Chain A
Amino acid sequence: MATREETPLDQEVLDKTLQAELAKGTDRRVAEGRARAAGVRAYRKMHGEPEREAKAPAEREHAAAAAAGGDGGGNGGTAAAAAAAMAAPGATVAYAPPPAAAVRTAPAPTGRAPSAKPGAPDKHRLLALVAPEGVQRVEREQGDRINVFPHLLIEEFVALLVVLAVVIVFSTFVQAPLRELANPNLTPNPSKAPWYFLGLQELLRYFHPMIAGVIVPTLILVGLMAVPYVDRNPSNKPGDRKLAITLFTMLFMFGATLTISGSFFRGPGFNWVWPWSQGIFFEL
């Protein structure tokens, strides 16, 4: 990184301004900034624009005007851009003069796309000075925050490794099923859907297919999506959410019970079996 060049400035003006600002009770950081700006401006005023090549005439005019317009005292001594705008009333964009209050209105839209100033240098500025009063300070609790790297990433990585290890070990010892070639003319008995649909298949034993196969799944899907819009209780404390928690737990348990019974308690013909005496008719 290039080291920052010292900007020449008028130390005397700086000191004087700093004293004046501090006497007014300005915040020390702000006061220092203003004093420094005043010092630089005073120096420039005395020596002309030093060592800045390739400036567009228009821009130099602005800068000169800014230097002239700066009062060298404590007051506005800040945003070069704002000062330049103030000193150039003939500019096409109508700036509102910066009010003392923190809120500043944006210039009214002109409705025209801006075009580059003739002869302007082929650069743009990414950095602008903003008057301290112009900055909206947002005060927020920093809170108790920790770095994602390494704390969270370590935790995630360990969780990942544990699951990976479990899956690999399990897959080494437990063979995934592969039966005979598919035969559309030979229905195995029982025929079961994958486990996550066995709750529905179980329901089919008790209800009309329209209910078990269409209405219930649709209700589940739509009902789940509607949860946040139906439950308007803003609290997330379990103590305040007894109804919601009870309902959800009941439905979840209901689904789990149906799934377990469809998985382990149904045998040939999807009839009831006791897994400990008649065996388990379940494949993953």
Chain B
Amino acid sequence: MEALDKVRETEVWKSVFRPGSIFRKGYKDTQRDRALAMMNNVLYHLHPVKIKRHGLKLTYTFCLGGLSFFLFALLTVTGIYLMFFYRPSADIGGAQAYSDMLTIRNTVFFGDLVRNIHRWSAHLMVFTVALHMARVFYTGAYKPPREFNWVVGVILLFLTLGLSFTGYLLPWDQLSIWAVTVGTNLAGYSPLIASQVRFLLLGGLEVGPATLLRWYVLHVLALPFVLVLFLAVHFWRIRKDGGISGPL
């Protein structure tokens, strides 16, 4: 204990925790320390010190937005781990993408579990985001001043679907390339721009090695980057619009 106090007195420790942080002085369960715990924390960018009591009510938000965000974080962590072992190449004769999938399943430390978590939470995230949207609709939470945050939300939904769909191709097995072929054909039958968009997305007339590389970059870099930008706006607007809407 005394040693811990000594550490707390060091310059280094003090430089890490801001004045008023609960890790500087020790936490007392007072209003003041509860407020400081938020204010001296990076979480203060997401949450204010106080919220309406109604905001705690589980049956209002069902935590769906928060859980979508958590799943996104979980997907990022597991995705980074998978990236260590995966090469997005599908050249004839050496589809490394697929053989890397087999390696992940069979030999990588916890590879199978991590891949399963990544896959299942991806599906779950699409689901929770859709339910979150339904919750927002049924509580009328898109009404002024939150109109624009709803629009941001629709963009997030679109990006979530995009992330899920681009990821679907990466295992490069029969399931993935044909699901992607069918999925992109949906838009591709039509004349005019749609078929050109399809060509651009696939990097060719049909799903091939170029598609794999393109979708890999979209999946691990471009789409997450854009999603995080919109998430920042989404969260910022929640606070600026006065916190959670309601009560009904």
Contact of B188 among A164, A213, A221, A241 (CB under 8 A): A213
Instruction: Report the nearest A residue to B141, measured CB to CB.
Output: A236
Q: Contacts of B115 on A, CB cut-off 8 Å?
A: 176
Q: Report the interface size class on chain A.
A: 35 or more
A179 touches B186 (CB 8 A): no
Query: Do residues B117 and A228 form an inter-chain contact, with CB atoms below 8 A?
Result: no
Main secondary structure of the interface of B (DSSP, over half): helix
Cβ-defined contact, A213 with B142, below 8 A: no
Q: Is A197 an interface residue (CB 8 A)?
A: yes
A145 and B138 contacting across the interface, CB-CB below 8 Å: no
Tell me which residues from 52 to 106 in chain A have a Cβ below 8 Å from any Cβ of chain B: none
Q: Residue-by-residue, is B173-202 near A (CB-CB < 8 Å gives 1, otherwise 0)?
A: 111111101110111111100100000000
Q: Please indicate the chain B residues that have their CB under 8 angstroms from the CB of A153 in the complex.
A: 43, 47
Q: Is A194 an interface residue (CB 8 A)?
A: yes
Q: Within the complex, which residue of A175, A180, A213, A248 is in contact with B194, where a contact is CB–CB below 8 Å?
A: A213
> CB of A272 within 8 A of chain B?
no
Known: A156-B63, A172-B113, A181-B174. A191 touches B179 (CB 8 A): yes
A159-B67, A236-B245, A284-B123 known; A147 and B174 CB under 8 Å?
A: no
Contacts of B123 in A (CB 8 A): 195, 284
Secondary structure type dominating chain A contacts: helix
- Chain B residue nearest to A176 in the complex (CB): B119
Please tell me which stretch of A3-11, A13-21, A35-43, A182-190 contacts chain B, meaning at least 4 of its Cβ atoms lie within 8 angstroms of it: A182-190
Task: State in angstroms the CA–CA spacing of A234 and B143 once bound together.
Answer: 7
A184's partner among B147, B150, B207 (CB-CB below 8 A) is: B207
Whether the pair B154, A224 counts as a contact (CB closer than 8 A) is yes
In the complex, the answer to whether A213 meets B67 with C-beta atoms within 8 Å is no
B38: chain A residues at CB < 8 Å are: 147-149
A210 to B192, alpha carbons, bound, how many Å? Answer: 10
Is A231 in the interface zone, CB < 8 Å from B? Answer: yes
What is the CA–CA distance of A173 and B189 in the complex, to the nearest angstrom?
A: 40
**Cβ of A150 under 8 Å from chain B:** yes
- Please, which residue of chain B has its CB at the minimum distance from the CB of A142? B50
A240 to chain B: closest residue by CB: B140
> In the bound complex, what is the Cα–Cα distance between A245 and B142 (angstroms)?
13
Q: Are B116 and A171 in contact (CB under 8 A)?
A: yes
A243 close to chain B: CB less than 8 A: no
Is B74 at the interface (CB under 8 A from chain A)? Answer: yes
C-alpha spacing A170/B120, complex, angstroms = 8
User: Complex Cα distance A25/B186, Å?
Assistant: 79
Interface centre among B49, B143, B144 (most CB of A within 10 A): B143
| 13 A-B interface contacts by CB (under 8 A) | A149-B35, A152-B56, A167-B117, A167-B121, A172-B116, A178-B173, A179-B174, A180-B173, A184-B208, A192-B178, A224-B154, A229-B147, A231-B143
Chain B residues with a Cβ under 8 A of chain A: 31, 34-35, 37-38, 43, 47-56, 58, 63, 66-67, 70-71, 74, 90, 95, 98, 101-102, 105, 112-113, 115-117, 119-121, 123-124, 126, 133-134, 137-144, 146-148, 150-151, 154, 157-158, 161, 164-165, 168, 171-179, 181-183, 185-191, 194, 206-208, 245-246, 248
A residues whose Cβ falls under 8 Å from a Cβ of B: 143-153, 155-156, 159-160, 163-164, 167-168, 170-172, 174-184, 186-188, 191-197, 200-201, 204, 209-210, 212-214, 217, 221, 224-225, 227-229, 231, 233-238, 241, 244-245, 248, 252, 283-284
Further 15 A-B residue pairs, CB within 8 A, beyond A188-B174, A213-B185: A146-B51, A147-B31, A156-B63, A171-B119, A177-B175, A178-B101, A186-B174, A192-B178, A197-B186, A213-B189, A213-B190, A231-B142, A236-B139, A252-B134, A284-B123
